[in-house]
Amino acid sequence: MSRAVWFSMYIELINRSPDLTRLLNEGYEIDESNGFLLINHVPYVNANKQVMYGTLVSRLTISNNTTLRPNDHIALWIGEYPCDYNGSQLTNLVINTNSEQIREGLVTTHTFSQKPQEGYYEDYYQKMTQYVHMLDGHAHAIQPEATATTFPVIKLTPEESVFCYIDSASSRAGITFINEKLKKTRIAIVGLGGTGSYVLDLVSKTSVEEIHLFDGDMFLQHNAFRSPGAPSSDDLAKRPTKVGWFSESYSRMRRKIIPHHQFMDETNVTALRHVDFVFLCLDKGGSKRMIMTYLIENNIKFIDVGMGLRNVDNALTGSVRLTTFTPSYHDHMTDRISFNDEEDNVYSTNIQIADLNALNAALAVVKWKKMFGVYHDFTKEHHAVYQVSTNVISNEEIPDET
């Protein structure tokens, strides 16, 4: 069995087994091998009153890739003979000193037996933590900081996941299956200004298959103040491209972020034909109209975002907008979208504020997740505007069937 296949089965076992999920979420170094559950890095005391670390092992009882109640109260141990904090052997815990091979290079040294008061362990969380506490309590008396809950970083290979390490946030919240609704999706972000870069920040934490970035600009000093992250002055002095800077930054967390250092026009808009969803984060009206027309003609869903802020009496006011387009609802394009090029407007200050860029991006990503079933969507609005001064979001362009 390849590691990728094994890991897929291992993750499914954890996701479907609340007891294993709880062990993982509390920071235990759990593993599975040949039908055995292992907890590594369990602190204990040896005969020399030294704090050491061993591995606790239990046979797994599984059905349909889900743990059942443990069928015995026996545990195996890999390490020296455990002792109390005075160095006396825990003979009430160890019933046998023998060896059993778990896998090549991994052999047990002792057998533990500690039957709970009920006569059985309800699940593997109860069983394994009871044994851990019988060992680490003595270790704590000598070394209070000794712990079995190390919250290890579980690295993943490209065959196992688009993430470079396991998404423990979803498992802790119990929403892994919900988030996997996005798993096979390929998205594009056109424009990596303030809002577009925050869209990337949010979607990079999802399990989408690919994230394509389109922008022909360089990442300059003013961009740093309206984008996520904290580039240094040395970073900015290198004058990276926007797509290069953000793809490199976020590729430390996940794979398949694909940069396209180019402005989108009639010659390359077909690059969007293979994606499932597009976030349009542009302020160039001519390009936007052309891209929107192409997406509508090719039945590709997309969200267009926009921001309009102005200085009134030395305070800012205005709004942020998101407009949604689907194959069945797109005739509102000319009514809701301005195609004036802001850079050609001599009166435009093009005010961008990081918090409102982030809000605009968050509203767009929430709407996108609604469209793919991650969140409930009772209104199904295709146009929403947040007014800064009144703190009100208005929903419009609501299909008749809603």
> What pLDDT, on a 0 to 100 scale, did the predictor assign at position 345?
40
> What pLDDT, on a 0 to 100 scale, did the predictor assign at position 400?
83
> What pLDDT, on a 0 to 100 scale, did the predictor assign at position 10?
76
Q: The CATH number of 168-396 is which of 3.40.50.720, 3.40.190.10, 2.40.10.10, 3.30.70.20?
A: 3.40.50.720
Q: Would strands 383-387 and 392-396 be described as parallel, antiparallel, or unpaired?
A: antiparallel
> What pLDDT, on a 0 to 100 scale, did the predictor assign at position 338?
82
Please, which contacts does 283-288 make with residues 24 or more away whose CB atoms are closer than 8 Å? 283/191, 283/193, 283/341, 283/342, 283/343, 283/350, 284/341, 284/342, 284/343, 285/338, 285/339, 285/340, 285/341, 285/342, 286/339, 286/341, 287/263, 288/337, 288/339
DSSP assigned state of 272: G
> What pLDDT, on a 0 to 100 scale, did the predictor assign at position 344?
44
CA 333 → CA 213, 264, 303, 339, distances in Å?
Answer: 23, 19, 11, 10
> What pLDDT, on a 0 to 100 scale, did the predictor assign at position 4?
58
> What pLDDT, on a 0 to 100 scale, did the predictor assign at position 339?
80
Full pLDDT tens readout for the chain, 402 residues: 556 556 667 777 888 899 999 999 899 999 988 889 999 999 999 999 999 999 999 999 999 889 999 999 999 999 999 999 999 999 999 999 988 899 888 999 999 999 998 889 999 999 999 999 999 999 999 999 999 999 988 888 888 889 888 887 777 777 878 888 998 899 999 999 999 999 999 999 999 999 999 999 999 999 999 999 999 999 999 999 999 999 999 999 999 999 999 999 999 999 999 999 999 998 776 788 999 999 999 999 999 999 888 999 999 999 999 999 999 999 999 888 888 765 444 334 578 899 999 999 999 999 999 999 999 999 999 999 999 999 999 999 999 864
> What pLDDT, on a 0 to 100 scale, did the predictor assign at position 348?
43
Under 8 Å between Cβ of 393 and 384 = yes
Q: Which helix (H) or strand (E) holds 291?
A: helix 285-297
DSSP assigned state of 374: S
> What pLDDT, on a 0 to 100 scale, did the predictor assign at position 343?
45
- Break the chain into its structural domains and give their ranges: 3-142, 168-396
Give the SS3 label for residue 124. Answer: helix
> What pLDDT, on a 0 to 100 scale, did the predictor assign at position 8?
66
Under 8 Å between Cβ of 109 and 97 = yes
